[in-house]
Structure 1
Amino acid sequence: MTYVSIITLVTYALVLGLLAVVSVIDVRSRRVPNVLAGALGLLWVAWRVVLGFAGAHMGLGFRAEFLGPAPDVLVPPGLEIGGISFASGILGAVVLGGGLLVLTTVYELVRRKEAFGGGDIKLMAVLGLFLGLERGVVCLLTACVLSVAYVFGREIGRRVMGRGRRSCRKGAGASDALLGRGRGSSDPASVSEPFLSGAIREVTTEQDRDSLLAGTMPFAPFIALGTLVAFVA
């Protein structure tokens, strides 16, 4: 493996590392920091410049290597990541970023619901620089499929848990009826009911805040997985 291939492989590893950081932030706060998306863009520029200087050093010319396809690299277990050219990267960034922006705008106007956030659109645009158009589409489709599967799995899990809770409530109600614990009971627990109700309201309020975040599902982790698939697709 040549040192140019090693530099390219390190660049891809840095891309995945930055995506991991973005994914963690997106899960916690539902945002994609502009500084990290910008860092990916700067990484791409620096990588292309290094390729250009490497080409000049090898006698191939700075311009030829700066604009030409990046070297193909092999990763265990024998998977090949094909390099794309400067023009392919620009095309991928424009089509993916611009296409997502148009689709998101139309969707939000028609459905009155938020689709992709601005951070997700910027992230896909900058990833298009590394992936190109074809692999960028693979990344986006993979991310969409995984996110839909996650939503369906989460919904099924909630329904199963909801049924279990209802069964527990029915069982508890039957036990209270057998023990004579009606609403008018003088059970000591009823004395602390106002306190418990306040605690429950407080917890519910916190859960409502969490549900606001939960309503805006993080998409960056799925983009990161889609990028990993696109690299070796």
Structure 2
Amino acid sequence: MVAILFFFGLIIGSFLNVCAYRIPKKQSVVFPPSACPSCQKPIKPYDNIPLLSYVILRGKCRYCEAKISPQYFVVELITGLLFVATYLYIGLDIKLIVALTFVAILLLVSVIDMRLQIIPNSIIIFGLTSGIIFLGTNFFGLEAMPLIKIAELSFYGDWSLIGFLGGGLIIYVIAIVAKLIMRQDAMGGGDVKLAAFMGLYLGLYVFLALFLGFLFGALVSGVMLGAGKVKKRQPIAFGPFLALGGLITLFFGAKILSYYLQVAGL
């Protein structure tokens, strides 16, 4: 099963690369078939095998020998590994479908935001729509949402809605305050929508995810600023940090909260 999930993850990772390239351009992610961005030659199926084709072609187009971005290889590999990790963490359960959707969307958003500093509405809308459908399964006793539950709380679906509203509201307020202080946009509307999306899937644990996102964002920004990689007040994509916080929370959120409560004596 692990091998199947890894291979499935590679295929989804390949598709995410297509989405990351085409969605910002408002192009169809289905038609036309994949082609080299440089020479526009259609990519043959045997040149489109996840991971293998990149290695065999040595990161170059077969026809024009233009370099292929390492992004394609990295995204495919990370997606495969994360899909396996998600399966090992959740097992064969209705929540596996929900979690894989969550992971794939976070990866896609991260790739696009790092490259273009935008988070397309269409991706968030798809994620929210899927989340609402998953939330509907709660009425049939499947309890697929949120992905992480707090044992002492009932009405799990309600916590998804609270996470959705709370996650989006927190980032919205922080964005307004940051703009007043810095006199420029510190976060975009896409970050607000991404936080709301994460809240729908994570429930109350979204607050931990946001905290981790801000923590990683501050650390990386500080290091980059100190190293002269970015200038003061230069915009930095925040979506990937939120996504990282979401992924860590998905896999370790319950343990982090349990450890904190134990240390705090609660």
| TM-score of the two chains, using structure 2 as the length reference | 0.53
> Equivalent of 1:139, from 209, 213, 221?
209
Counterpart in the other structure of 1:215: 234
Counterpart in the other structure of 2:56: none
SS where residue 215 of structure 1 aligns? coil
What amino acid maps onto 1:37 in structure 2?
I
**1:53-102 CA deviation, whole Å, 9 max, x = no partner?**
4x3xxxxxxxxx5xxx54798xxxxxxx4378111011111122122212
Q: CA–CA distance in 2 between the matches of 1:144 and 1:72?
A: 22
| Contact map agreement 1:146 1:222 (CA 8 A) in 2 | yes
Q: Any residues of structure 2 matched to 1:30-69 within 5 Å, and which?
A: 30-53=117-140, 55=141, 69=143
| Contact map agreement 1:44 1:130 (CA 8 A) in 2 | yes
Counterpart in the other structure of 1:226: 245
Q: CA–CA distance in 2 between the matches of 1:86 and 1:138?
A: 18
Q: How many residues align?
A: 159
Counterpart in the other structure of 1:82: 149
Q: CA–CA distance in 1 between the matches of 2:170 and 2:144?
A: 25
Alpha carbons of structure 1 residues 27 and 104: separation in structure 2 relative to 1, 3 Å: same
| Contact map agreement 2:149 2:156 (CA 8 A) in 1 | no
> Equivalent of 1:154, from 216, 220, 224?
224
- Between Structure 1 and Structure 2, which shows a larger proportion of helix residues? 1
Instruction: Give the C-alpha shift of residue 229 in structure 1.
Output: 1.5
Counterpart in the other structure of 1:15: 102
Alpha carbons of structure 1 residues 103 and 154: separation in structure 2 relative to 1, 3 Å: closer
Instruction: Give the C-alpha shift of residue 109 in structure 1.
Output: 2.6
| Contact map agreement 2:146 2:203 (CA 8 A) in 1 | no
> Equivalent of 2:166, from 87, 95, 116?
95
What amino acid maps onto 1:223 in structure 2?
L
Q: CA–CA distance in 1 between the matches of 2:135 and 2:92?
A: 13
What amino acid maps onto 1:148 in structure 2?
A
What amino acid maps onto 1:157 in structure 2?
A
- Give aligned-pair identity as a percent: 27
Counterpart in the other structure of 2:188: 117
Q: CA–CA distance in 2 between the matches of 1:41 and 1:72?
A: 13
Q: CA–CA distance in 1 between the matches of 2:144 and 2:124?
A: 21
**1:15-39 CA deviation, whole Å, 9 max, x = no partner?**
1111101111101110001011111
Structure 2: 5+ residue stretches without partners: 1-86, 254-266
Counterpart in the other structure of 1:129: 200
Q: CA–CA distance in 2 between the matches of 1:146 and 1:40?
A: 24
> Following TM superposition, where does structure 1 have runs of at least 4 consecutive aligned residues deviating by more than 3 angstroms?
50-53, 69-73, 81-84
Q: CA–CA distance in 2 between the matches of 1:228 and 1:49?
A: 23
| Contact map agreement 2:161 2:199 (CA 8 A) in 1 | yes
Q: CA–CA distance in 2 between the matches of 1:72 and 1:132?
A: 5
- Larger radius of gyration between Structure 1 and Structure 2: 1
| TM-score of the two chains, using structure 1 as the length reference | 0.60
Q: CA–CA distance in 1 between the matches of 2:243 and 2:159?
A: 20
Where relative contact order (Cα < 8 A, 6+ residues apart) is larger, the structure is 1
What amino acid maps onto 2:98 in structure 1?
T
Alpha carbons of structure 1 residues 71 and 110: separation in structure 2 relative to 1, 3 Å: closer
CA RMSD, Structure 1 to Structure 2 (Å): 3.0
Alpha carbons of structure 1 residues 154 and 103: separation in structure 2 relative to 1, 3 Å: closer
Counterpart in the other structure of 2:93: 6
